[in-house]
Amino acid sequence: MLEKFHSKHFTLEKVRNGIYAAIAKEGGGAVGNAGFVDLGGQTLVFDTFNTQQAAEDLKKMAIQVTKRPVTWVINSHWHGDHIRGNQVFKESTIISSQSTYGKMKDLHPARIDKQKSDIQGLKNYIQSLKLKLGEAHDEKLQQQIHFLREMEVSLPTLELVLPHQTFTDEITFTGSERSARLFTLGGGHSHCDSVLYIPEEKVAFMGDLLFVNSQPSLFEESNPENWIQILRKLEEMDIETAIPGHGTVGTKGDFQKIIEYIENR
């Protein structure tokens, strides 16, 4: 943990030289994990959180650590907790798979418009939860209230910013210190999930293909069989440290736990 870099939304952890994981805090505006990589001459951010205020903290820390603006921003998949902070990185090149771009473009505008049109309803709901909390303190309820307040703050100025560039299978980034491979093996958790692999450091940003000490989320769109196959292919790679979409930093050993969860659900 890097104590001098504080955010109420996430904890910044140095994983390797030049590689940092931003692990979401309960009740904050992050929801999902993110992170950044100093490639040497270029800075790459992986995912942008659920709110622009959390993304602002991530951008500030990335610039302070690397001493340069953010060059690239990756959206691992289309879900809101990984892309709704995109507007903070308008001046960077945002990139995703072609499939992720399509889902963002097709599904998010209506969702965001609906939420913006009912901010008063959200305020009323938060107030009802506060009254409930006053009757009996509940830590989970308190965290839910904090999270909803972050949503309330974000909505008035929230705008959907789509990726500027897309790829189909794989793209490589090369800096003076290290390189990174961004690739997709199709959909598992979502319609299309991308992984960022830094071979020199044996580190992978997994997005929501991996949950560590956190229950995996399976949706109607999820493809459990392919999810298992993707993780088995990733097990064959030289990965020592795996940064999940939710939960604490893990290892390749955590892949099998997800496989077993899916098989036994």
SS3 state at 204:
strand
Q: Are 91 and 62 in contact (CB under 8 A)?
A: no
SS3 state at 48:
coil
Residues forming beta bridges with residue 11, ordered by sequence position: 6, 23
- Close Cβ partners of 153 (under 8 Å, ≥ 6 residues apart): 29, 51, 53
Here the CATH number for the domain that contains residue 223 is 3.60.15.10
**pLDDT tens sequence across 176-190:** 999 999 999 999 999
Average pLDDT over residues 234-239: 98
Average pLDDT over residues 153-164: 98
Question: 92, 124, 157 — which closes off a domain?
Answer: 157
Q: Is residue 66 a part of any domain in this protein?
A: yes
Q: Is residue 4 a part of any domain in this protein?
A: no
Number of domains into which the chain is organized: 2
Mean pLDDT taken over the chain: 96
- In this prediction, residue 133 carries a pLDDT of 87
- In this prediction, residue 120 carries a pLDDT of 98
Q: Is residue 2 a part of any domain in this protein?
A: no
In terms of Cα–Cα distance, which of 56, 19, 15 is closest to 177? Answer: 19
In this prediction the pTM is: 0.96
In terms of Cα–Cα distance, which of 49, 27, 51, 47 is closest to 36? Answer: 47
Same domain, 138 and 195: no
Rounded Cα–Cα distance for residues 164 and 184 (Å) = 18
Same domain, 148 and 198: no
Same domain, 139 and 213: no
Q: Are 42 and 71 in contact (CB under 8 A)?
A: yes
Same domain, 50 and 78: yes
- In this prediction, residue 2 carries a pLDDT of 63
DSSP H or E segment with residue 151: helix 139-154
Q: Is residue 1 a part of any domain in this protein?
A: no
Give the range of the structural domain holding residue 91, as residue numbers without chain letter: 10-104+161-264
**pLDDT tens sequence across 44-94:** 999 999 999 999 999 999 999 999 999 999 999 999 999 999 999 999 999
Q: pLDDT-based confidence at 3, cuts 50/70/90?
A: low
Rounded Cα–Cα distance for residues 252 and 241 (Å) = 7
Same domain, 190 and 256: yes
- In this prediction, residue 21 carries a pLDDT of 98
